[in-house]
Amino acid sequence: MAKNMTVKVMSDKSISLALNRIAHEIIEKNKGVDDVVIVGIRTGGAVLADRLKKILDGICDADVSVGIIDITLYRDDIQVKLDQPLVQKTEILFDLVDKVVVLVDDVLYTGRTVRAALDAIVDFGRPRAIQLAILVDRGHRELPIRADYAGKEIPTSKSERVEVHLKEISGKDEVIIDRSGRGGV
């Protein structure tokens, strides 16, 4: 892959600033974190959810519950895909009823992943509200879904590929756009 085909759009510093800002916005909007729980979408969202929890705990001197959701079984393309995606565990070990669930994912694109996650969450109970926190919003929605908290909005074309690298998974923090024409998230 030629080097000029990829552009770095967020550095480790800007990712960290964005998460801190999102944390403050969550506190502001919900007047504290008493009823707030965080649920990250596997895999990138789960890592970001953990980081948000630590920031919120630090600011509010609280212990915010954090869970992981795997949306594989709620996808709408199971029967059109050649490969069955590997189903991983969902870990929500607390009660969601009457809580404010902050759903966390790395990239918001078509909105289909979020749609699947919303379906999955309501199977665990009836939260008072569900809010969406996203690191990168790249546009091209196919469903009426928007983020309540967004780290960065990046206009992209569908042929571009947005890659979010996180320390816990790939050893470094950065967001890059790949213009080599493969498309996808």
The DSSP code for 45 is H
Closer by beta carbon to other proteins, 7 or else 87: 87
Size of the site for other proteins (CB under 8 A): 31
The minimum distance between CB 77 and other proteins, in angstroms, equals: 5
The DSSP code for 87 is P
Strands 161-165, 174-178: pairing kind: antiparallel
- Between 57 and 86, how does the x/- string for binding to other proteins read (CB under 8 A)? -------------x--xxx-xxxxxxxxxx
Q: Are 165 and 1 in contact, with CB atoms under 8 Å apart?
A: no
43 binds other proteins (CB under 8 A): no
Closer by beta carbon to other proteins, 144 or else 171: 144
110 binds other proteins (CB under 8 A): yes
Among the listed residues 58, 139, 181, 183, the single contact to other proteins using CB under 8 A: 183
141 binds other proteins (CB under 8 A): no
Interface stretch with other proteins, choices 51-59, 123-131, 146-154, 164-172 (CB under 8 A): 123-131
Cα 4 to Cα 8, 161, 165, 172: the distances in Å are 10, 14, 18, 20
Provide the 10 A C-beta neighbour count for residue 8. 11
Sheet holding 100-108, edge to edge: 66-69, 36-41, 100-108, 129-137, 149-153
Provide the 10 A C-beta neighbour count for residue 13. 9
Chain positions contacting other proteins, by CB under 8 A: 70, 73-75, 77-91, 109-110, 112-113, 119-120, 123-125, 183-185
